[in-house]
Structure 1
């Protein structure tokens, strides 16, 4: 059998990883006179033999990995390859014998930017392909790299090309789609890989898969083929069928416990270990939802997850994707919804990840005035590019469909909405009308929200948006951004500013506590005391409070009760529920030892923990506190509210007329017989007093009467009609 030569130019492109269609050269191809050419690309192989039912034929070694032969056959029966490496012969299927694993519909949807399940088309998909001689197990790889001159697959399956560029498994370009594809027989779940991309600039780059569903644990950076079946038998059918069905989220109880998973309990080093403890803890405290700081893979732990490199992979620090699913499932079985932070605003510049993916700006905007973020030293997505929009929209859907996530809190929305964000004194790129609005980002957010709400019933989206952009939580059909909720950053800043003043000075800042009601119904709000408020020198929540240790705790308890009673949903970051004294450290996590038996001040911290539990218990059972959060009929100030006395008093109402009154005395003196006019009722019962001894207070009895109430010092009292 003689060799089957190639055109020297074609061979040179193949050898240098610059060929757009290696399948046209490699594999089996008919020749004149009923002969077949067979070619295989096997770098570092010593010998390649074709094995058929009618015999074997050794291929000619051309050097540099190319093996060819001519067979005197019109058709080739079922065959495999016998490849010898280091004197050891291995049986392998021919990767160039398979048709593309993406169909015309996939490519059409990708080109249109409408592939809502993009992870089913791109990335690494382990599968069996049926052939005439039975199923062949392997993995289909597909990556979008429209400007690449060539793409090859390297990984465990080919010994990472033994460190030599241009010697991986060549992939074929699927035309104008910009997608490169290959089916790699024998590659399966757990195998590591990257793409070796020859960019338009002539440089080789080894890149992780943007669509990888699993990664190596940092600091390693390879992508990993994931289990094709998802690897987890879900047990949350009842939860998934019922979530969001009873009432809309903005008319339902919603209190959120925010967690950074790697540091919540640093000794728990896996999703499964955390699942044994965290859902029970949060459910026992009465929260309705758990919110996770970003879970998607990120190389730098100090970013807390906010600098994402693998948008489709849960961080491998805590285990494989199926173990993260186990954690979500465990939360659902305990009646807890799971919200996760989603970060479409920016991504880091790591040279092995998304940045300059195929030799130039691809995922990032090409103009640095819009493509680079000055605050974080990161890159900004090109929100107007069709395929980038598709990548992000499908990613939002992915977490909700594949991991049963119940809500997406979108980080840094303001940085997306304004082209001049954080560019004071710097060059910025106006929009076509000369304005500062980033209409491409607006459109992206609207599309992502609309798609998630359409495809994933019961899921909510939440915006961290710090400006007065109109209609953040209005539906897209009303020209809103389409979020379900918006973080109330104004309430957070104003109320914390007020609480940090000594009580003697608070009368001059009363407006900080009342101003929120001017705009309380402009959006569906969540009141966030998040991780951002207890780091970088801002101190823990209890440490922000003035006075001695008793007064600090009393202030904190009163503030929490005021927060839980205020219109809007609640969010509290871990550690604040038991008055952690120090700022949060992502290395050390919460100061759990403050609750240890034998710690002298244990009861001081346990008292605050009891209060948070009772706040959630009463809150969830009192529709007046949540049913009309977004309706002015659900709130009114009570006569007796007084700036001079540091007293805030109001009543909350549900749609059926049920009421709860909240009276907060934010001064350190007892106010006996305070003239507070409560609505007409047969009588009023105290259902919560933050000054109660069980919470660590002085146990002053409020003794409610129709037109007067004793207000304990630095305390909030909740009352309901008898």
Structure 2
């Protein structure tokens, strides 16, 4: 709390571990979680946790996204003071706390907000506007001052009463569009004849402006899946006013690429590079969230092709690419140790995979060690986070090496100090691979992270000695280095 707002979130390390509290360690209370969660997250080096909804909800299978008690932490794990105790424990460990906040809809339970006084009060009076077509819930009437006050006050309540450091706002797209998931004849246009829900736009602007004014240093994050312009633009410039936005395009495209067999990836090379076309249109978070590891989508490692060794290698290479790519990171629980099963709210992550008595536990502990090292290097190297939102923080070395399944780029900090990231998504070793580098005046470039290292479960193909920059032009640069690329790996280099 004391350091909240010391610097803008866009210019600070921001690495998020997403948690469903009720299933992270099933059966634990808030106070028992306070004994385990902070130390686990701190050991992995994440800067924040994101808690899936903790507001009271009647149906556990909704994962908390169908809220009835907007002003109460769920009693499943304890009292409000117990929840405060957990937040305080995370803060004492130096970990920020983000929570999912759901102002897009609410359940129809007649004992909750639906027809609260016998008529449409919180929901829209127009049945077409009131009913959410996807979830069987009701949508708020954002045009009513009383409803906006209820929700805006709720956002500030969590920040002020429970010291929450950020709100991730769920299902923003469903709020912004009158025709969201609706067919012709199921919606009516706005007064200008368009499909924008201007009442919802006004509410989101009011909510963001109020939260930032009353709670400096808090961040709001939009889960917004369309190309709505200005999601993270300030409200005084006509934007919605969020601090960050989930980059759903990057998530979709990059997962599509890594799910392909390596021999076919060259035909999908642009799936990994296209995100840089729009990388600075908003302030982005790169999310590998709970939504990507449920309902038949498979766990992250299970999406990868090949045998078990190759799946883990792909998994590690992908995480290395993700941590180096412009934008903040979010990883859902269980993916940090390559759990092979999908997540279910009915049971927790497969912690037994890390038990030394399990013969393959080293495979999973190796991936977890990598995540810890990714976060450690990430936090120590400003080039990876200081200029996430400006083009000057990134340049391609080679974004077109489709035949090799290679992506090479540079990240820069505010002083221009670079980090070279090279991701190689082929299962072969490439020797004497030449890449152009900036002239730094140093003796060479050294590996600072290699996802193929033996301690992570890799084949340990390394560049042991500093790589001397030679006066051999390559990729439009006057100097270059010749390196060895490990199979299915990401390697980071810095000037010696």
Normalising by structure 2, what TM-score?
0.96
For residues 265-664 of structure 1, what are the structure 2 equivalents within 5 Å? 265-268=25-28, 270-639=29-398, 641-664=400-423
Contact 1:370 1:380 in 2 (8 A): yes
Secondary structure of the corresponding residue to residue 308 of structure 1: coil
Match of 2:490 in 1: 716
Out of 239, 249, 262, the position equivalent to 2:9 is: 249
1:696 and 2:470 aligned: no
Out of 250, 258, 276, the position equivalent to 2:18 is: 258
Secondary structure of the corresponding residue to residue 26 of structure 2: coil
1:511-549 per-residue CA deviation (whole Å, 9 max, x = no partner) reads 000000000000000000000000000000000000000
More strand as a share of residues? 1
CA distance, structure 1, for counterparts of residue 25 and residue 428 of structure 2: 39
CA distance, structure 2, for counterparts of residue 424 and residue 542 of structure 1: 37
1:675 positional shift:
1.5
Contact 2:356 2:362 in 1 (8 A): no
Contact 2:398 2:407 in 1 (8 A): no
CA distance, structure 1, for counterparts of residue 358 and residue 2 of structure 2: 45
Contact 2:273 2:399 in 1 (8 A): no
Contact 2:429 2:485 in 1 (8 A): yes
Higher Cα radius of gyration: 1
1:425 positional shift:
4.4
CA distance, structure 2, for counterparts of residue 635 and residue 538 of structure 1: 32
1:426 positional shift:
5.0
Secondary structure of the corresponding residue to residue 32 of structure 2: helix
Contact 1:677 1:708 in 2 (8 A): no
Contact 1:640 1:675 in 2 (8 A): no
1:449 positional shift:
0.2
Secondary structure of the corresponding residue to residue 526 of structure 1: strand
Secondary structure of the corresponding residue to residue 677 of structure 1: strand
Secondary structure of the corresponding residue to residue 515 of structure 1: helix
1:424 positional shift:
2.7
CA distance, structure 2, for counterparts of residue 721 and residue 324 of structure 1: 45
Secondary structure of the corresponding residue to residue 241 of structure 1: coil
Unaligned runs of 5+ in 2: 470-480
Structure with the greater relative contact order (CA < 8 A, sep ≥ 6): 1 or 2?
2
CA distance, structure 2, for counterparts of residue 443 and residue 456 of structure 1: 20
Unaligned runs of 5+ in 1: 1-239
Contact 1:487 1:527 in 2 (8 A): yes
Contact 2:131 2:137 in 1 (8 A): yes
1:193-239 per-residue CA deviation (whole Å, 9 max, x = no partner) reads xxxxxxxxxxxxxxxxxxxxxxxxxxxxxxxxxxxxxxxxxxxxxxx
For residues 36-435 of structure 1, what are the structure 2 equivalents within 5 Å? 240-245=1-6, 247-268=7-28, 270-435=29-194
Match of 1:177 in 2: none
CA distance, structure 1, for counterparts of residue 298 and residue 348 of structure 2: 14
Contact 2:313 2:488 in 1 (8 A): yes
1:119-154 per-residue CA deviation (whole Å, 9 max, x = no partner) reads xxxxxxxxxxxxxxxxxxxxxxxxxxxxxxxxxxxx
CA distance, structure 1, for counterparts of residue 184 and residue 89 of structure 2: 49
1:369 positional shift:
1.1
Alpha-carbon RMSD: 0.9
1:634-656 per-residue CA deviation (whole Å, 9 max, x = no partner) reads 00011475011000000000011
Contact 1:702 1:712 in 2 (8 A): no
